[in-house]
Amino acid sequence: MLPSATGVLVLLGSFLIATSRGNLSHDRSQPTTQDETVVAGNKVILRCQVEDHEESSLQWSNPAQQTLYFGEKRALRDNRIQLEKSTPYELTISIDNVSLADEGEYTCSIFTMPVRTAKAIVTVLGIPRKPLISGYKEPLKDGQTVRLTCVSSGSKPAAQLRWHKGGKPLAGKDPEVAEDSNGKTFTVTSHVEFVVTKEDNGVDVSCTVHHASLPNMATSTTLKIEVFYVPIASIEPVPAYPREGDNLKLLCEGQGNPVPQEFMWRKEGIDTPLIESQDNILNFPYLNKSDSGTYICSATNIMGTSEAKYNLAVNDASPVAHSSSKYHAIIGGVVAVIVFLLLILLIVLGHYLIRHKGTYLTHEAKGSDDAPDADTAIINAEGGQTGSDDKKEYFI
């Protein structure tokens, strides 16, 4: 008798439920892990977890398939490997002082039916060694091209090398990367080339290694370069504003590398040197007009010679040309004060004259007011009037 349609549906439903339960149980019994990256010499922690252990224990094994821990039981005698946590649901271990040999694929297993496993890849970063700089032969000369090489080995993955000169980035050529003899780490080589100038004397040139194993720091090597260059001559008078009769000293300074050891003084228009020795001072014990002229100092080192000129003008105990502007300002100030005082004096004098002129005009016409005619007024004004009391005539 064939089963009814209802019976078929019931059987099919039972099968699907059993299959679903089996898949769910399979997922809950699957261990989980995660990959780890560690710097050589540091500590790495491997954690394996499972939701349903099915009455079985977890196990960790290394890339060589050697068992490290089965549950809480140590299987490999390596004191660097320690148990961190062991429960039916978790097995966590640690490996201290990790080396490049510890890199690889670690396996966590649970011995159910069937056996289930999970992989954790451990990546070990090789720390690059301190870089070495070669190619520098001191001293360098102004305008010379220098070629430097920087090498750092032991990095994994390959490190990056960067150049700096005087604290500023210096472009290098494309680096060269070669695998080390251990087959795991790399040696990186970088070259840089530049022309030096006198401004580079005493400047630091550095090569710095950048790598993932050095996230918060970088290792570098620095060298200080020395550059020889022609001296730069300059003349300084002491005192700065000499007058006739002063004791004047002209100091010849030569800024160069190496420091100039030879100085020569001469006066323009005179072929014979005034001084040719290591002395850089030209002395005038008593300055006079005959000392006026242009003086030239030559400073010499092994790189060459440079010259500086100084114009000296001596004028009757007055300042030389270098100080004329200062004394012109003083003279101008004195003249301004004198002009101001003269203006005040003129104003006072004018005011005085105006007041006294009014008094004179009042008295000069006295006696002309009572004259009967113009002629008499003029005579009276000139003092020609005679009083009646001075001359009287009597008739009998």
Mention every residue, 6+ apart, whose C-beta is less than 8 A from residue 357.
Answer: none
pTM of the model: 0.64
pLDDT (0 to 100) of residue 97 = 96
What's at 49, amino acid-wise?
Answer: Q
pLDDT (0 to 100) of residue 373 = 57
Q: Is 313 helix (H, G, I), strand (E, B) or coil?
A: coil
Termini Cα distance of the chain? 213
pLDDT (0 to 100) of residue 379 = 53
pLDDT (0 to 100) of residue 353 = 82
Q: Is 343 helix (H, G, I), strand (E, B) or coil?
A: helix
pLDDT (0 to 100) of residue 157 = 95
Q: Quick check: 135 and 221 in contact, CB under 8 A? A: no
Low-confidence ranges of the chain (pLDDT < 70): 1-26, 275-278, 316-328, 356-396
Angle at Cα 270 formed by Cα 264 and Cα 276, nearest 5°? 20
pLDDT (0 to 100) of residue 58 = 95
Q: Is 15 helix (H, G, I), strand (E, B) or coil?
A: helix
